[in-house]
Structures are given as structure tokens and as C-alpha cells.
A and B are shown apart, each in its own frame.
Chain A
Amino acid sequence: MNYNVNEKGYYGEFGGAYIPEMLYPNVEELRQNYLKVMAEESFQKEFHELLKDYVGRPTPLYFAKRLSEKYNTKIYLKREDLCHTGAHKVNNTIGQILMAKRLGKTRIIAETGAGQHGVATATVCALMGLECIVFMGEVDIKRQAPNVARMKMLGAKVVPATSGSKTLKDATNEAIRDWINNPVDTHYIIGSVVGPHPYPDMVARFQSVISEEIKTQLKEKEGRENPDFVVACVGGGSNAAGAFYHYLETPEVGIIAVEAAGKGIDSGESAATSALGKVGIIHGSKTLLMQTADGQITEPHSISAGLDYPGVGPMHASLFASGRGEFISITDDEAMEAGLELCKLEGIIPAIESSHALAIFETRKFKKDDVIVVNLSGRGDKDLDTYIKHFNL
């Protein structure tokens, strides 16, 4: 079985480009060029130099000794939280800004949930001197205030999305509408492995540096490239796609995707797409999504803005449908506890998104000598308000 995208843009039955004709020229231009551009030597050189000198890669693979002792297994943390701007998101925005420049685009738009992708986009736009407009749900603007300020300092214009649930899904709608209105000079930097083909594949390729590094680093530390399990949280699924990428076709590596159960899968306030979703079309992609029987997309809930999305990328829908991936969902409370625990045991304050991945150890048991790599997708600075409120700090 092949878990990667095929030439038509599908992962199994998922993916494709279900876009209105207004977007066709832009998406088609990208589709025809992305692999060619990425293969250029000058592109690779610039991309890797920036990842090294600007982002700070490779990020460490850290053996979490006290966490491992507590759960009686071997846990490594892939420290994406140490990336410049505080999360894995910047790997993708560096790649896409270089792509946009080569396609001659001068105006950059992006959507953001937690604000991490917005900050990462604003950052690379500042770096390259390009105009930057970030769409962000009104609700998220309130709960991620420090990131809004950051984007503004970096010179981006932050436009509130006021439709629907006023979160990530709606910010994405607004970004797509902006792209329809500005088809010639604008590149849309999507922040996850979602959207029409070729976005899911392009973003996964930019993020694949994560598993590329894990392989080399684990070889050094454990004498083998392959862990027994790779674990990552899934909002749209970009950090997970990056962490899984080079292990997709290696069946002895277990793939664990962690979704946000919100207040519980059956609470009506959840974002656990694999448990609650059905096949449908969201933001140009055929994938699993949360919807009513009538095909209206429903409003998700998660305490973490970055996981508050009613779909998953088509790669993950396919990993779920084929059984290649194990899907676990974690509630708001469980994630918060796991986040605090990492602070206490390892001195690392994780993003609440990443805390979801850490929370699986309470219920998912591993063997003592299992080697598990958890992708620590981001740091928790942006979430202090939520931590403070939750724990009355």
C-alpha cells in the first residue's frame, strides 16, 4: 500500500481539488510548478540554509528521562517548540514564501487558528519584504492575543473573520475568498496539510524535514532510525504529516495521531474528526469532516485553537481509513494536565496542541523498551492565558 499522494492528488479516496473555477488558475499554476521548483538546486539550498540559520534546525531530539520513568517506556521529544517563532509552522512558511517568490507573487495571505501559522507567515513576509494579510477568527483573536500583537509587530495586517463559528474554519473561508478576489498577484500560504491538491502534499514535503531529522538523530541515540511509535497531534495535520512522512511506508513504525476530543467525543463540543467525521468536501479537499446528516459543516470545539478544525488533511483521513494510523482523542482537561506535567517533569512548557499528544501516556500503554517519539509541535508561551485560567495560577 502506498500512503503518499498519487499523481491525481489523492491519498486513497481522499484529496483532490474541489475548488470553484475562480481558484483554478492559481491552484493549477501551483500544481504544475511545485515539484519542479522544489527540485531546483537553488531552491533547496536557500530552503535548507534558512531552516538552519534562521529557524534553528535541526531541532533537538531530546530523551525525556523523567517522563519516560513515569510511564515506564522510552520517550523522545522532537523539539519543534524550539523553532524560531515557537512551532513547526515556520518550516512550511519558509518553504512557501520561497515558492511564492519564484512564482512572482507579491502579496501573501494566510489563515490562522492559534496564531502560530499567522506569526510564522508574518515572519517570513517580513524576512522577504512582502505584503502580508492574515485572516483570523474573531474568537481566536481574543484567546490568542499575544500572537495577534506579534503579527502586527511583524508588519502583517490581521483581518478578523466574523462569519460562522469565528474560528479557524471561517478564517480559512475568508482567506479563500480573498484569493478569489485577488487571483493574480497573491499567494495563499495554507498553514496545514489541508486544502486542494497540491497543498496537502506540498506542505507535507516542507514539514517532512521533521522525520528526516528524527531518523538521523535516533540513529545516533538508539542505533536505529526507526522508533516503535511516532506520536503527533492533528489539527489539520501538518506537524503530524512531517513527523510521519518518512515512516509512512515503514510498517514496523507505529503511527499515532492524536485528535482533540474537546469536552468529550459525545459532548457535542469536540474536534475529534476521525471519530465524528464522515467523508465530505471541506476547503477544496475530499476528506473526513464533521458535518450534519444534511452536509452542513459543524462547528468544532477544542481548548486549543490550533486543533479547533472540523476536518483533517486527506493524508490523515487515508491513514485512518486504511488502518495504518492509530487515532486517539484527548479531552481538553486531559491535555491541560499533560501540559502541566511536562512543565513539572521536564521543565518544558508545551503548546496546548502538543499537550494532546503528550496526554496519551495516561491511557495508551507501551512496553518498557518501546522507543516513542512525540512531536512536540510548539511551545506554550501563546497559551499562558489559557493555562492561567484553567489552573487558577
Chain B
Amino acid sequence: MNKIQNKLSENKRLLSIYFTAGYPKLDDTVEILQELEKSGVDLVEIGLPFSDPLADGPTIQASSQEALKNGMTTDLLFQQLKDVRATVSIPLILMGYFNPVLQFGVENFCKKCAEVGIDGLILPDLPLAEYEEHYAEIFKKYELINIFLITPQTSEERIRQIDSASEGFIYMVSSASVTGSSDGFGEEQENYFERIASMKLNSPLIVGFGISDSKSFQQATKNTNGAIIGSAFIKMLSEKGLGGITSFISSIIRV
């Protein structure tokens, strides 16, 4: 079983953290991963920075720009991750936009992912139909799980379609927004979380976008399997550096 599936089968509310590789410093990647695992994070999304991150708000845009300025590349990220499995065992997902993957070569990219021990990919601008027609075989060959997104506007029919194409979890975007733009969830989001939960999908649901603290984590995971924190974590990194990771994580998952 893939590490992601394994983790999902544990009966708990999962905390996933997103960070941009190459930020704050070019070589922080592995140390951040080690700190996250030590602090009790369940899975991690490593962001491959892109010049034009369409679905991201100002925080992740800025960290991506900074990471690129620091010199991050796809090649370098794979080099940094070469021995990551010697010290980090939680599931690792690469999240990025499709163009850098396309330039690297989709097959080559997947092969590298498998070599360094990546378990899954989130490529928000690679649509389901394209994936199924051209790339699903390659992902399967390298045992990579592709994670799809749904939003409050996604139709029930399409959610079912995405559910049946999913082998890991469904990334449930909390509201109609780019990353990092909400503070707390209202009734609308809670209804949406409940509505999707009541669909009894095969795939576990993990909520992302707009989760920043313990309260929003609790709200997001009441009816779902977990939640992802991105912008708030990056903001913390830019303020406190890697030394702030442990206390940030424990502020979220303290019971």
C-alpha cells in the first residue's frame, strides 16, 4: 500500500502542511520536513515553486518568487530529496503547476519522484480529462497517487467522477478563493463540508485553503479526514524561521 493510503487508514484527523521548497532559504527543504515529522504532522505537501501560480494568494506567490530567486529548480529539489527517506517517513506529496513538470518530462518527473520516495502529486492545473487520457498510466507505473481538487461549485456529478478517479484523498478547497484569503469559516463552509461528507464518497476528504489555526482546523475536520495548512505556515516561517515549527504545529493539534 502507498504511504498516503496507509496514513489515511489511521482513524484520526490528519494534519497536512504545505510549504514552498527553497523558502525561506534554498537548502531548508529537508530540515523543514524533519521538523514537521518530529512535531507530529501526518503528511506534507512540498510546493514546487512556479513563476505564475494562478491559484495562489499573495503569501504563496511571494514565497514562490523568493524560492525561485534563491535558485530553486525541479532538478535541485530532486537532489535535495535524494536521501530524504533515510530520515523522514511520513507521506510526501509534491504540489506544483503543470508547466515545470511538462518541461521536465512527465515520465522523467514521475520516475524521479519514485526514486526519492514521493508518494503522490497535486497538479491543480492538470485537469482530470487530460490526466486520464495522457498521464494516468505513467503515474500508475511509478506508483504515484494523483490528488484532485473539488470546490463548493463542483457539481455532484463531477465530484462522483473525481471520487472514482481518486486513489488517495480528495482535496476539498474550502471556499471559492485562492490560497490564504480567509480568516475562519462561517456557516456556508460548514454546510459545504457537511454536504460533501454526506455524499459518502469512497475517498477520504482533506480540506485545504483558509485553515490557519486550531479553531479553523477543528471546524474543517469535524466532518472530514483532515486539513491542510499552507499560507499560515509560510507566514510563520517568514516571521520565526524553522525554529518556530514545533510550537506552531502543537498550537494546531493540541487537543
Contact = CB atoms under 8 A, between A and B. Distances in A.
A20 B55 contact: yes
Contact of A169 (B52, B65, B75, B150): B52
B104 interface: yes
18 contacts: A18-B125, A18-B130, A21-B127, A22-B151, A24-B158, A164-B51, A173-B54, A177-B54, A177-B55, A181-B176, A181-B178, A183-B151, A183-B176, A184-B153, A281-B102, A295-B50, A295-B101, A296-B68
A297 interface: yes
Contact of B103 (A20, A163, A280): A280
B79 to A, nearest CB: 13
A17 interface: yes
A291 interface: yes
Contacts of A163: 61, 65
Contacts of B73: 294
Contact of A295 (B99, B148, B154): B99
B249 interface: no
A281 to B, nearest CB: 4
Contacts of A279: 102
A282 B99 contact: yes
Nearest to B57: A177
Interface string B141-177: 0000000111101110010000000000000010011
A1 interface: no
A181 to B, nearest CB: 5
Interface of A: 16-22, 24-25, 163-164, 169, 173, 176-177, 180-184, 278-284, 291, 293-298
A22 B176 contact: yes
Interface of B: 50-52, 54-55, 57, 61, 65, 68, 73-75, 97-104, 124-127, 130, 148-151, 153-155, 158, 173, 176-178, 181
Contacts of A180: 54-55, 176-178
Contacts of B74: 294-295
Chain A CB within 10 Å, residue with most, of B54, B98, B151, B173 = B54
Nearest to A293: B103
A281 B151 contact: no
A21 B150 contact: yes
A260 B28 CA distance: 40
A291 B125 CA distance: 17
Contacts of B100: 294-296
Chain A CB within 10 Å, residue with most, of B99, B104, B177 = B99
Nearest to A8: B129
Contact of B51 (A17, A22, A183, A296): A296
B54 A176 contact: yes
Contacts of A164: 51-52, 65
A16 B126 CA distance: 11
Contacts of A21: 124, 127, 148-151, 154, 173
Contacts of B98: 18, 281
Contacts of A19: 125, 127
A278 B51 CA distance: 16
A176 B177 CA distance: 11
Chain B CB within 10 Å, residue with most, of A182, A279, A281 = A281
B154 A173 contact: no
A22 B149 contact: yes
A241 B153 CA distance: 33
Contacts of B130: 16, 18
Given A164-B52, A176-B54, A183-B176, A25 B99 contact: no
Nearest to B151: A22
